Amino acid sequence: VSRSWLKAISNLMLGSAMASMALPMTSSSVSEALSDGRRLNGSLVAHLRCVRHVARMNENAVARIGILTVSDRASRGEYEDRGGPAVRNYLDEVLTGPWEADTRIVPDEYDQIKQALIEMAEAGCCLVVTTGGTGPAPRDITPEVTEAVCEKLLPGFGEQMRAVSVRYVPTAILSRQLAGVRSSTLFINLPGNPKAIAECLDAVFVAIPDCVDLIGGPCLETNPERVISYRPHD
């Protein structure tokens, strides 16, 4: 299937959708309609958004996502990694397009964490999610390493995750997780507890697809019954 054919079909579907809402076929109206998932059928929204990004996608592109568990005990096999599987299960529930995971476990060692983060970015991961090592303990250094490999920090992610987590656990205020970008990779730190992982991702995932778009990554589409991604830059 050619890109020109996909774009033509997209325009036809988009024109029909806009007409059904009695909206003019202008860029501002299109963006308004696409940003309001309540006004369009969820599957149509997902289709239109993906096709609008096809100019910079391969038709068979598979999003690559890194999942990095940072834990001394898990890396030694003394403790079952629960954080990494929790992240993967969450992504399986939320993402509707094809994706593959690059999963790794490293100890709380600066050089090993840094090497894994850089390797994942260079391997083409559009998103790298870390779990563990975000607290105030002496060996909790994941945020420091993440900041060192990022070109730009996105403080809003950490602020929002803490604001949500503290509603459930008062000690969540001790978490130092952050997010940032390196080239076309978005890094996000998460805590190690599976329940906290889901709460934090629920707090910020609405903005992740748009961020990945803006840094030149693939089109990440979400299950509208789980997360309605917000794309004001479409």
- pLDDT tens per residue across span 55-107: 444 445 799 999 999 999 999 999 999 999 999 999 999 999 999 999 999 99
List C-alpha distances in Å: 197 to 29, 118, 130, 151, 212.
Answer: 36, 22, 10, 25, 20
- Residue 113: the pLDDT is 99
What integer pLDDT is reported at residue 34 of this predicted model? 54
Give kind and range of the element (H or E) at residue 187: strand 185-190
The CATH code that applies to domain 63-214 is 3.40.980.10
At 21 the pLDDT is 55
Distance from chain centroid for Cα 199? 14
**Predicted pLDDT of residue 86:** 99
**DSSP element (H, E) containing 194:** helix 194-204
Query: What's the pLDDT at 233?
Result: 74
Query: Looking at residue 61, what is its pLDDT?
Result: 77
Grouping H, G, I as helix, E, B as strand and the rest as coil, residue 64 is strand
Rounded Cα distance, 138 and 133, in Å:
10
The whole-chain average pLDDT of the chain stands at 86
CATH 3.40.980.10 residue ranges for the chain: 63-214
Smallest CA-to-CA distance from 157 within 95, 121, 200 is with 200
Is residue 163 within 8 Å of residue 177, measured between CB atoms? no
Region for 224 from its dihedrals, namely left if φ exceeds 0, alpha if ψ lies in -120 to 50, beta otherwise: alpha
As a whole-number percent, the residues of the chain with pLDDT over 70 amount to 74
What is the Cα–Cα distance from 190 to 222, expressed in whole angstroms?
20
Is residue 67 within 8 Å of residue 126, measured between CB atoms? no
- C-alpha distances (whole Å) from 84 to each of 44, 48, 55, 109 are 32, 32, 33, 18
pLDDT reported for residue 47:
53
Collect the ranges in the chain with pLDDT lower than 70: 1-60, 234
